[in-house]
Amino acid sequence: MKSWPKAQGNDDETLAYTINPDYPAARRRYRQNRRRRARAAQNALAAGLTIQTITEIKTTLGGARKTFECELLSLQQDAAVVIYRMPADHQLEDLLLPKGSLSLGYFWEGRPYNAYHWVDDKRRTLALYLNICDSTLISPRQITWRDLSVDILITPDLRCRVLDEDELPDDIERNLLAGINATRDSLCGSSERLLREFERSTRSLLAEA
């Protein structure tokens, strides 16, 4: 039985709606094919090596698009976990992510954030990186989401840092900004709990991989 970080009651759904008021309607439309998508996901996993990779597609507020080819680690109806191996050293603030480090990406359709849990080759936490986002859609072949610029970096010493707020556009919609700020405050207020939950989840998932 895979262990996943728990949702915070209805808080995540409320925050998702705050960020994107069209979210409930969009999600209902997307869920009209829920059974078909669920069967496809189950068949893909049951087939073992039939689908080994999944494409993560990130779109920024400015419209830029980045894609990453990842290994699919776990797929559920509204959630997925992917794994990506760092192809080179990467410096973020004062944090070095060495080449070969693993990034486990956790995605949900109903939460206003996703998470990258970075671990070293001995599976020790390097950091937990939370992306505030909206418009996440998951299928057996791809994950798409919109990056809302603001990120939360939590390190093993329990420092919690807010990054990239300066990248928000000056003309951002007031409601969108309010949702981003509410999500930021919620995540920062739960930083230690989130770090421990993702550590448990990652240990469980890698043990079964």
Ordered domains of the chain (ranges, CATH): 11-208 (2.40.380)
pLDDT tens readout for residues 152-200 = 999 999 999 999 999 999 999 999 999 999 999 999 999 999 999 999 9
Closest CA relative to residue 209, chosen from 123, 131, 139: 123
DSSP assignment, residue 135? E
- CA 139 and chain centroid, separation: 14
The amino acid that residue 48 corresponds to is G
Q: Is the pTM of this model over 0.85?
A: no
Decide: 86 and 104 in contact? Cβ < 8 Å: no
CA distance 33 to 85: 32
How confident is the model at residue 51, as a pLDDT?
Answer: 46
